[in-house]
Amino acid sequence: MFKSIKIDHSGIKKLEGSHNFPLWKLSLKNVFWAAGIQEIVLGKEIRPLADPDKQRLWGQSNCAGMAIILQTVEEKLTSYVFTSTTANDMWRILVLTFGKSRKWTNQQLLQEFYQVRLEDKTPTEIINHLQTNSGQFFAMGYRSIDD
């Protein structure tokens, strides 16, 4: 028998960008803890390899984490995480995009953008990397790399 995860997160203000990221992050960490899925979302517990029952439970918890994240992010920001296959991937992308953007400069972001090499990554990894860079530019107020 698998547990049903029902945690009310309707009162959490949706992530709009770097300006409300710290409060959103803290709120979601508490929701994940209350739901018992924080280890999965934060990447400390990976999908079990052998036991089918544990795999199903992990999968259910991962989907719950993904749903919570998607429901607490403004629709315009969902494009940053829609290719993610795990809650941890979503979490990591949002942390990299909005959690550190204030520490980046335009020059640092451009340098990272131009350092992406096709031979180093899979197409999905490249897309995720470019989406993260795009989100960081957007969070800093840039609408194009020509700004």
Q: What is the mean pLDDT of residues 92-111?
A: 71
- Higher pLDDT among residues 141 and 22, named by residue: 22
Q: Where are the domains of the chain?
A: 21-139
Identify the pLDDT of residue 147. 47
Amino acid at 16: E
Q: Give CA–CA dist 21/29, Å, rounded.
A: 12
pTM confidence score: 0.68
Identify the pLDDT of residue 123. 77
Q: Is the pLDDT of residue 2 over 70?
A: no
